[in-house]
Amino acid sequence: MTLRAPLLAFACLAPLLAAAEPGFAVRNEATLSRTATLPTLGESRVLDSGRFATRFTVDWSNEYVEQANARESLTIDAETRRVTFGFRRGVAEGVELGVDLPLLFTGGGALDGVIEGWHDAFGLPNGGRDRVRQDRYLVQYTVDGQTRILDDEGASGIGDLELSAGFRLREDFAFRALAKLPTGRSSRLQGGNAGGALWFDFDPFHGLANWFGYVSAGASYSGQSDVIGGQQKQFVALGGAAIGYRVWRPVSLLVQFNGHTALYRDSGLNALDRPGGQLSFGGRIDIAPKLQLDLGVQEDVLVSSSPDFSIHIGLRYR
């Protein structure tokens, strides 16, 4: 009798525990988005006091942009691997603090051939990427004949460190804040400017067996960057939504959308003055009671303002 009661309680609570899951920890990984403060959304559950969670993610993104008008010319042919180490801990009832340290590796496109083959197989346009050599790295922006950005070497190093706080409003509703510290090098397009963000994460599936997801909305402010800072929009609205379903006990499927308003102004190029929208989809595997593996891909719903293609791999322990 003593053993059956806890087992029965766990069986009743299992669907509720399964529903309290975050979305993929992804964002816009475009080269020129690193000056903006764009948090990862979808954590509607705040950790209990004394509990902790760790996260390790790899986001491998490939982008190709070739745009020009009478005044401007922009070329982005780049690949980025963002490796992020994250830690969060409940420090009081309904309050958690966290830190995320990103490492950025930029260079030529090892995925160029894979993406061109994917496009050819499904009859999709390559957007001109098949007319330039593969594995090239080049970020160049000119206005009225003056070069404002030129980087053809790539780099590796620390991105902008992020400090976060979460506050439980309800079990399915959290208010969150983030501070971005200028630890990256702006000369290597790794960030390098401070910023902050405020947003809400809400789980509309709270209490439903097998279903999970989120709806998020907020805004951010970023200090002026050394990278075309005069055109930078310092205030940005952001949001997202996701829906996931647990197919069977260890495996879930997830689709999510993240978006934000335009990051730059005074430009006629879509890559700069257009809102960003990223569609992510993939699966989640429970490889241990407290350890989950995320595997997903991300596509640019709004073309040019986000990378063409990203691979997301995440490990989360809580």
Q: DSSP letters along 291-302, please?
A: EEEEEEEEEESS
Count CB-CB contacts under 10 A for residue 104: 25
pLDDT at res. 3: 41
Q: Which has the minimum average pLDDT: 65-79, 123-137, 247-261, 269-283?
A: 123-137
Q: Is the pLDDT higher at 305 or at 115?
A: 305
pLDDT tens figures, 112-163: 677 767 666 766 666 666 666 777 899 999 999 999 999 999 899 999 999 9
Q: What is the chain's mean pLDDT, rounded?
A: 90
CA-based end-to-end distance of the chain: 30
Question: Residue 317 has which token pair?
Answer: 């322990």
Q: What's the CATH class of domain 23-54+82-106+156-317? A: mainly beta
Alpha-carbon gap, residue 308 to 64, rounded angstroms: 7
pTM of the predicted model as reported, rounded to 2 decimal places: 0.89
The secondary structure element, H or E, covering residue 8 is helix 4-19
